[in-house]
Amino acid sequence: MALEFAGEAQAKIDAMMADFNTRLAKIGELQRKSSQLTARATSDDSMVTIWVNAAGTIIKTEIDPAAPRELGIDGLAAAITHTAQQASTDVRRQVSATMSEIMAAGDMAAMRQKLLGDVPAPPNVVELLRSTRVEPSLAPPEAEERWRTDSSDDDPRGSAW
C-alpha cells in the first residue's frame, strides 16, 4: 500500500515537473518576444512618424522636411509629443497582451490545483497590484496635475514657472 501511494505521488510530481518545465520554456519565449516589440505611430497630417521599443523609448523619428514651415515650431513639437504618446500607448497595449500570456503560462494556481486539490489558495498579489495600477500622466512637466494634490495647494515649481 505504501509503495503504491509513493508511486502515485512520484507520478504526480513527475507530471508537475514536466508541466512546470513546459510553462517555463513558454515564459522564456514570451519574454524574448516582449523584449523585441516595437510600435509606430504617424501624426494625422503624416508629418511625423515615431517608432518606440517595448519600454516606450523612442528608437526612430521621421519628420517631413516641410513640417517646421507648415506646422511651426510649437505645432511640430505638439505633433512629435502626441505621436510619441500614441506609439507608446500602442506598445504598452502589446506588452500588456504579452504579459497576460506570460501570466497564463505561469499559472501556478493550475499546478497547485493538480497537487493540492481543494486546499484554499492564498490571495494573488500580482493581480491585486495590477488592479491598483495608476497610469502615468501624459501631461507636460509644467501641468498643474503634476504638482497639485488633494492635500496640498503649494506649488513646488517655484516662481520660475
**Nearest residue to 70 via CA among 43, 51, 50, 41:** 43
Q: Report pLDDT digits (tens) over 49-85.
A: 999 998 899 999 999 999 999 999 999 999 999 999 9
User: CATH classification of 36-137 is 3.30.1310.10, yes or no?
Assistant: yes
3-class secondary-structure state, position 63:
strand
For cell 499559472, name the residue.
Answer: 107
Domain spans, the chain? 36-137
Which pLDDT does position 119 carry in this prediction? Answer: 58
Which pLDDT does position 13 carry in this prediction? Answer: 78
Q: Output the CA torsion sign for 114, 118, 122, 123.
A: positive
CB 155 within 8 A of CB 147: yes
Q: Where are the beta strands (DSSP E) in the chain?
A: 38-42, 48-53, 58-63
Q: What is the pTM of this model?
A: 0.61
Give me the tens of pLDDT residue by residue for the chain, a chain 161 residues long. 566 767 777 887 787 778 778 877 887 787 778 888 899 999 999 999 999 998 899 999 999 999 999 999 999 999 999 999 999 999 999 988 888 877 776 666 666 666 666 656 666 656 666 666 666 667 777 778 766 655 555 555 555 54
Which pLDDT does position 161 carry in this prediction? Answer: 46
